[in-house]
Amino acid sequence: MVIDSSGNSINRQIITGKPSVSVGSQTSTINRQEGTQTAGFDSILKQKLAKSEEIKFSRHAELRLQSRNISLTQAQKDKMKEAVAKAESKGVKDSLVLMDNLAFVVNIKNRTVITAANSNELKDNVFTNIDGAVII
> Angle at CA 61, nearest 5°, toward 57 and 65?
110
pLDDT of residue 35: 46
Residue 36 counted as domain residue: no
Whether residue 111 is contained in a domain is answered as: yes
Within-domain flag for 22: no
Asked if residue 98 is part of any domain, the answer here is: yes
8 Å CB contact between 107 and 93: yes
CATH number, domain containing residue 110: 3.30.2310
In a domain, 12, yes or no: no
State which residues form the domain around 63.
54-135
Residue 1 DSSP label:
-
Adjacent-strand bridge partners of 129: none
pLDDT at residue number 86: 96
What pLDDT sits at residue 28?
47
Per-residue pLDDT of the chain (136 residues; tens, 9 = 90+): 556 566 665 555 544 555 555 555 554 444 445 444 556 887 777 666 665 678 999 999 999 999 999 999 999 999 999 999 999 999 999 999 999 999 999 999 999 999 999 988 888 888 999 999 999 9
Contact 96, 89 (CB under 8 A): no
Total number of domains constituting the chain: 1
Beta bridge partners of 67: none
